Structure 1
Amino acid sequence: MKRLFLLILIFCSFLTAKAQLGGGPSITGKISGTVVDSLSKKPLDYATVSIFRTRGKAPITGVLTDEKGGFKLNNIAPGNYKIVISYIGYPSKTIDPVTTTLSKPDHNMGSVILAPSAKTLSQVNIVGQQSVIETKIDKIVYNVEKDLTAVGGNASDVLRKVPLVAVDINGNVSLRGDQNVKVLINGKPSGAMSNNLADVLKSFPADQIKNIEVITAPSAKYDAEGSAGIINIVTKSKNISGVSGGISGGFGTRQNNGNANLSIKQNRLSVSGNFGGNFTWPQVTPTTFFNHNDSTLTTNTQKSTSTIKRYAYTGAGSLSYDFNNYNSITSNIRFNQGGFRTDGNGNTVIASPDKKTTAIDSILYATTSNTHTVFGGFDWDAGYTHKFKKEGHELSIDGQWSHSTTTVDYGTFYQGQVPGANQTANNSGVNNEYTAQLDYSLPVSKNVKLEAGGKSIFRVITSTSDFFTQNGAGNPFVYSPTLSNGYDYNQDVYAGYTVFTFTLPKSFTLQTGARVENTQIDGKPGANSTGQTPFSSSYTTFVPSFAISKTINNTQTFKLSYSKRIQRPSLQYLNPFLNQTNILSQSRGNPQLSPEVSQTVELNYNTFIKSSVINASIYYRHTSSIIESLLTPIDIHSTTDTTVLHGTLTNYANVGSNNSWGASFFGSVNPVKILTIRASINAFTYSPSASGAYQAQQSSNGTYIMYNIFGSGSLTLPKDIALETFAILNSPRRTIQGSNPSFGFIGFGVRKQLMNKRASIGFNTLSPFKNTIDFNQDIVGKNFTQSSHTAFPFRSFGLTFSYNFGKISVKPDNPMQQQNKGLNDDLKQGDQGGQGGGR
């Protein structure tokens, strides 16, 4: 609680700081004008007009020209300014100085003439005037607003189309084949994302997303956690001038979405908010499961079906205020609530051809089950930024509180030759994270920049599972102290970093840095736990980073980088609770897990020629103490007779190390003006080396190649009609005991813009030629083999719509707000599904 008070005290201090902050002249004016094409003499709408101080490098504000080419820059204090006007296909034009005074605060620039140019653009634009994918020196950006098939979908649907990213059929996210990736919202962590990543992404409306950033080699100023890298989801309506908003959504056979947003910006105060939700129609999924125990020659065959219903809603609010050009505060809050209900039934046959090796001849029993999962929470952050007079000299302080909860209530009921008693359970998990961070940036000279900072994260996690069993039909359910469990887990992280960036001759740039993180962990059983012991650990990690880049003719960039990352296990991996939801397929966490440590060397090449873009990388990654799930055969004693059944136990271990070579490629080309073709390919090797006792459980002993492929085509037709098609293919994902399934599908979309592009209607379809996507899994361990086949319903058809209102005037993103701060990307997500108690 004292940490919460500390965060509130910091935020309150921001609000009281105004009396100490300098202001500017009380008289403000405006700068206006009209942008015109030099040849046609016609106005240019949607040209970008940015205003700088005369010797400044960062824009103060900016607008887009209206349909008549006009622009107005309001609330301009008297002074000398530089105006920069840019438009796709035209060289930028700079007018310097433009002067306003106390006696003449308004300045009309009249007609500003832009001349077209055939020169290569300095900014990468992939789809004519609407770039879907941008490549930057430190990240890849996927502009969701330009993806016409995104309307009416969710974040998982969009992420499947982002270069280097793969999302499997369960919603688990991986970056270049590694699931140890942290997904952020506007550069900040989310408690909900930490606990229920797959479920939250399915509940996050795509209509709220502006773009998605992918960072594969973060520098030392980022948190060291997340071995694969960082995926940052940037939401819409961050810097809209005046009053504006919009509504959008979709109705379909699989999912229904709705979203609304509103932004108000008046002078130096900005307020925005959005709200959205979705629900899915009931989906029926059949599964066939087979397990063979080589020691007992026992086979276990199960056939089951499950029906799932899902709903969610999410909202956000943002407030920022600039006291003057040097001091500003921001505060944001985001909340989410969602849930799903699963009803299942199945039949199980256990048989052995040799009665001498087992008491089992043939057992047939049926099960019915129901599971109700509810998750929710909020993320609240507040920050203060002070800009010194020297350009780029900044100090920022941030605090954040993330709160998330998950509850899972379920019941399992048996009929026939019953292997266990009927049971119900109430599981709950609560996660509170408190973060405090300070960042400092100083341009030491024209060619040297220093960045330094410190950060502390305090996590408090509680997990409770109450089990009730029924011994005999008609008897009441009785609390089971042996099955019930509670566990409390605290994790504190203290970090500091320093990064130097050098601008060298001949277009070379060098960045080097170091970060030190100390982690302290304590876990203890709750009051209702039996047979569990407390544990604690502490370790310090040194994390260096290095990158050097070379630019040739402003069109080609080579970059060589080295990064070190760690991945701490989340509660799902640590909780020692024995989950017996399925009596024949049990699971348990391991509180003694160490974090994974990975080191990556990457060589990247990027080039663009006119509207075509090529980006290619080769990389090598060594990962030690890799965390994987292991299946082990176990004997299960029936509660109704002397029969001994044979099932499996899933636990987690640091099984060894892995060396991986990989290559990635994505490109875009416009063979004709109206057509854009994009492709993304990532391939990498998996060559595990198990250690110690885990060598006996390893069945994947070779070097395996895995890949994910994405391709799309966009066609722009007259009368504001656009068409798009895409295809996705992911290979099986290997583990030391087998493989998880491959899958692929295709999609189509069409959109018609209306009302001068303020509104649109569309039609989308996914997997139109196949109703289900097959999901096959094969695992081979010591003395057993196991396989499963699941057919997920995926085919969908839907109608989409959108409408925007208000003034279309966009302020360029403030460089102060573009820094990714508060990145708590340190928890290995596993299947990234919901967890509560032992789930």
Structure 2
Amino acid sequence: MNKKIAFVFSILSIVFLTSVFANDPLKQGSISGKVTESETNQIVEYATVSVFEKVSRKLIGGTITSAEGVFQIKNIPEGIYTVEITFIGFQKTIIDDVEISKTTSSKNLGNVVLSTDAEVLEAVEIVGTKNSIQYDIDKKIVNVGTQFASMSGTAVDILENLPSVSVDGDGNVSLRGSSGFTVLIDGRPSVLDASEALQQIPASSIENIELITNPSAKYDPDGTAGIINIITKKNKLEGVNGVFNVNGGMYGRVGADFLLNFKKKKWNYYIGANYNKRPGPGTYNSERITNSNDTASYVVSEGERERTFEVAGIQGGVEYAISDNDFIKFSGKIGDFKMYGGMDADFYEYQRIGGSENPINESRYISSEYWERGGLYYSANLNYQHKFAKKGHVLDAQVDYGGRDMTESSKNELYQKDGNGNVANTPSSGQSSTEVGPGGRLRAKIDYTLPIGANDKIEAGWQTRLNKSEDVNEVYNYDVATGDYIFAPDFSFTTQYTQTIHSLYGTYAGRIGKFGYQGGLRAEYTGRNINLKGEEEDFPVDQWNIFPTIHLSYNLPKDDQLMLSYSRRIERPRGYYLEPFVTWQDAFNVRRGNPALLPENIDSFDFGYLKNLGDKASISLDSYYRMTQNKIERVQSVYEEGVIMHTYENVGTDYALGLELSLNFQPFTWWTMDIMGNLYDYKVEGELEGESFDRQSLNWSSRFNNTFKLGKGTSIQVNNRYTGETVTAQGRNEGYFMMTAAVKQSLLKKKLSLTVSMNDVLGTANRKSYSEGVGFNNYTEDFRYPHVVTATLTYRLNNFKPSRRGGGDGGGMDF
């Protein structure tokens, strides 16, 4: 069911109803009940409930159903009424002769059942716009349907429109200034790294995105900044339904995906596939200075850079209702993804001695670089759910298995240039490296929910995670005499990595009047080992961790809400952070892991306020404080003259104190604005290379998104975002501004839609960064070509509508 459309329709209906009857002093009774759908007995949230006088048909009041499908309309005067319950895609249900009197002031209609009616969908024309962001006690929900300017992209393009999120030139995502977060797809972890997983998911396949900055103890505690949960589209209507998307654009951008669903009685089947190729050409300039005694060595480069993401996959699943209370589901995914690119750059290398301005030992050459990372990934998931007799009393069991077989390779060659600019035919030097390795993970968990009374509940669960991988790293150096690449055993290693995490958790949640609360505790045991084959050396970890969580909420008048939360979290080092050897990346860079890294420990506080400003606007304020101990950063140092070493260190402690603002405003029915901002003070202090440091910056970012409805089926969207300057342990990143624009046209009674978008309309997204340390200074400038036009065509078969049910059921794409 199309949750976005239904929510908008319901909100507009209830705003109208409540505004008309807010000041009637005669109201005194109430009408309540619960709404479910006939075929699956699932609750129906956001259904519109309207109360009319029976004779005059005068509208008396109304509301929408909650997430539990319940409703209550208060302040109803004495009389006899007709109650109508409507929801898009279902037949209207009418209940006559509902009487409110002095003796029967409260009337409970019990369970109201709605029947599916696919024809209703084509007859409804929605006017209005759903808020781009919704808020719950522990998360923000990003409504992807409002972001059609990003439909030809990936999950990263959607997230870029949020003030909490920033993306660098290589597509790496940060949440509230931290790259440490967990990505879930339909409540399940991905076998890929967080940023890689987000780059693989087509925006057109996403229903919504949940930002969970302070997860409860029920969730894994991994991730400095929290969890990004991608909820993919699913369909729950009877018969055959589907959605098809195809897109193409400049520089060879091309993509397509589909999802087909067949549902009949107790069985539900779905199958889908996707392919996406997204080249990102641009320019890359850098200047590096390394110092040794009184000699300064300079390496200056500028050139054309290409970076391409390419992914293809197929997924499917089957669901079966064993009985009215037992459900089983199996789903799987297999795919292949690649990130590849290269750069041909002009290099100018020289030295200065004793502070002289005159360059010596000058040389000019072309650096030709090509790299590729990717391979096969797959997952299989099995779910079982049992519902006990009491509402909300549920047992869930889940087993997930996923794996990858990845290859990473790079080659860098230098071609000398003479004084006339002529380039040599053969390289003067070159490095080639490969890293090959399979990896797998197994996760098994059981979750149990027990309602206590009318408003309270206990949740408890167990989970085991097993991870294993092996990486074979080989380095080859170019031999000028033979023209061959020679194996370099001193820089080639095989690393074996194993990790086991056992978890137990419990939470208690309840409500006393307007006050809601939830407390939780999670205990985890971690066993990890890294073995460098042939070196007879292990790097084990054996430890217990405790993670408390607290969530509080208070409902104010007019549906305003206050929310306060605390969680303790952990960010464990990634496998390649720990590899205890030196390997060459190219002629100017080497990499070494650090097996002595400690995990980051995070204390996170959130305070939120949600204010409804009538039917035209809503505003939310979210303040947060985060302290990270054992902060891990990628640091640089001089390896040898002209060569930089990249490694990872626990640099100290960082602090982030910030405020997020989100305003949704509809000045006219044809114009909707989303104004969002994030302002935070960031400080990092510690010790690096034997020297203490203390760096601080006031960071800010903003988003100003506008959607204009020009006529029936025609919309224009203009998104503006600014990402401000921020500091790191060794430098800073400059801020930049970017505008994207799109136009969307609906055709064939909304079965077909065409969206045309352009990125970086003003050509201002130029990313610059500076870093410095003992014996070096480095500057880089990364600029992607602007004005890239992409077109997306979407077709819906038999009125495909995403399920209203939220995340975590694993019904979509598993990457």
TM-score past 0.5 threshold: yes
Distance change in 2, residues 1:360/1:538 (3 Å): farther
Cα distance between partner residues in 1 of 2:545 and 2:116:
58
- The alpha carbon displacement at 1:281 in A equals 4.7
**Pairing 1:519-598 to 2, within 5 Å after superposition:** 519-527=526-534, 533-598=537-602
Question: Please, which of 697, 713, 718 is the counterpart of residue 706 of structure 2?
Answer: 713
* Residue type of the alignment partner of 1:262: L
Distance change in 2, residues 1:355/1:169 (3 Å): closer
Distance change in 2, residues 1:135/1:362 (3 Å): same
2:737 alignment counterpart = 744
- The alpha carbon displacement at 1:560 in A equals 1.6
Question: Please, which of 420, 443, 448 is the counterpart of residue 435 of structure 1?
Answer: 443
Distance change in 2, residues 1:602/1:270 (3 Å): same
User: Does the 8 Å CA contact 2:445/2:461 hold for their aligned counterparts?
Assistant: yes
Q: In the alignment, is residue 229 of structure 1 matched against residue 248 of structure 2?
A: no
Distance change in 2, residues 1:586/1:107 (3 Å): closer
* Residue type of the alignment partner of 1:176: R
Distance change in 2, residues 1:791/1:711 (3 Å): same
* Residue type of the alignment partner of 1:696: E
Distance change in 2, residues 1:773/1:181 (3 Å): same
Question: Please, which of 778, 786, 790 is the counterpart of residue 798 of structure 1?
Answer: 790
User: Does the 8 Å CA contact 2:49/2:65 hold for their aligned counterparts?
Assistant: no
Cα distance between partner residues in 2 of 1:599 and 1:282:
37
Cα distance between partner residues in 2 of 1:443 and 1:462:
45
Question: Please, which of 648, 651, 655 is the counterpart of residue 655 of structure 1?
Answer: 651
* Residue type of the alignment partner of 1:729: Y
1:269 alignment counterpart = 267
- The alpha carbon displacement at 1:406 in A equals 2.0
Question: Please, which of 676, 686, 690 is the counterpart of residue 690 of structure 1?
Answer: 686
* Residue type of the alignment partner of 1:286: Y
User: Does the 8 Å CA contact 1:152/1:256 hold for their aligned counterparts?
Assistant: no
Question: Please, which of 803, 809, 813 is the counterpart of residue 805 of structure 2?
Answer: 813
2:313 alignment counterpart = 314
Question: Please, which of 715, 724, 727 is the counterpart of residue 717 of structure 2?
Answer: 724
- The alpha carbon displacement at 1:171 in A equals 1.3
User: Does the 8 Å CA contact 2:182/2:226 hold for their aligned counterparts?
Assistant: yes
Distance change in 2, residues 1:585/1:127 (3 Å): farther
Cα distance between partner residues in 2 of 1:130 and 1:51:
17
Question: Please, which of 760, 781, 793 is the counterpart of residue 773 of structure 2?
Answer: 781
SS in 2 for 1:703: strand
Q: State the Cα deviation string for residues 236-283 of structure 1 (Å, max 9, x = none).
A: 124343210121122211532211110111112111122111223572
Q: State the Cα deviation string for residues 272-308 of structure 1 (Å, max 9, x = none).
A: 1221112235724332332242744313223143334
1:674 alignment counterpart = 670
* Residue type of the alignment partner of 2:246: G
User: Does the 8 Å CA contact 1:153/1:257 hold for their aligned counterparts?
Assistant: no
- The alpha carbon displacement at 1:327 in A equals 0.8
User: Does the 8 Å CA contact 1:300/1:348 hold for their aligned counterparts?
Assistant: no
User: Does the 8 Å CA contact 1:48/1:65 hold for their aligned counterparts?
Assistant: no
- The alpha carbon displacement at 1:97 in A equals 5.9
* Residue type of the alignment partner of 1:452: A
SS in 1 for 2:150: coil
Distance change in 2, residues 1:135/1:107 (3 Å): closer
Q: In the alignment, is residue 515 of structure 1 matched against residue 522 of structure 2?
A: yes
Distance change in 2, residues 1:819/1:604 (3 Å): farther
Distance change in 2, residues 1:308/1:807 (3 Å): closer
2:727 alignment counterpart = 734
Q: State the Cα deviation string for residues 60-106 of structure 1 (Å, max 9, x = none).
A: xx99545xx74699xxxxxxx99x9xxxxxxxx9854669xxxxxx9
Distance change in 2, residues 1:52/1:293 (3 Å): closer
Distance change in 2, residues 1:184/1:811 (3 Å): closer
Q: Which runs of 5+ in 1 are unaligned?
A: 1-26, 42-46, 57-61, 74-80, 85-92, 100-105, 113-125, 636-644, 826-839
- The alpha carbon displacement at 1:425 in A equals 2.6
Q: State the Cα deviation string for residues 780-802 of structure 1 (Å, max 9, x = none).
A: 21232211222222431122211
- The alpha carbon displacement at 1:346 in A equals 3.0
**Larger relative contact order (CA 8 Å, sep ≥ 6):** 1
- The alpha carbon displacement at 1:664 in A equals 0.9
1:300 alignment counterpart = 298
**Pairing 1:125-524 to 2, within 5 Å after superposition:** 128-192=128-192, 194=193, 197-254=194-251, 255-281=253-279, 283-293=281-291, 295-305=293-303, 306-354=305-353, 361-416=361-416, 421-505=429-513, 507-524=514-531
Q: Which has the larger displacement, 742-751 or 484-493?
A: 742-751
Distance change in 2, residues 1:48/1:261 (3 Å): farther
CA RMSD of aligned residues (A): 3.9
Distance change in 2, residues 1:672/1:705 (3 Å): same
1:18 alignment counterpart = none
2:60 alignment counterpart = none
- The alpha carbon displacement at 1:359 in A equals 13
Q: TM-score, normalized by length of structure 1?
A: 0.79
* Residue type of the alignment partner of 1:402: G
User: Does the 8 Å CA contact 1:302/1:346 hold for their aligned counterparts?
Assistant: no
* Residue type of the alignment partner of 1:615: S
Distance change in 2, residues 1:747/1:811 (3 Å): closer
User: Does the 8 Å CA contact 1:350/1:360 hold for their aligned counterparts?
Assistant: no
User: Does the 8 Å CA contact 1:373/1:407 hold for their aligned counterparts?
Assistant: yes
Distance change in 2, residues 1:49/1:240 (3 Å): farther
Cα distance between partner residues in 2 of 1:205 and 1:650:
32
2:33 alignment counterpart = none
**Pairing 1:13-162 to 2, within 5 Å after superposition:** 64-65=87-88, 70=91, 95-96=109-110, 128-162=128-162
Cα distance between partner residues in 1 of 2:745 and 2:150:
14
Cα distance between partner residues in 2 of 1:107 and 1:345:
62
Q: How many percent identity over aligned positions?
A: 23
Cα distance between partner residues in 2 of 1:97 and 1:454:
34
Q: Which runs of 5+ in 2 are unaligned?
A: 1-38, 43-47, 58-62, 73-84, 99-106, 121-125, 418-425
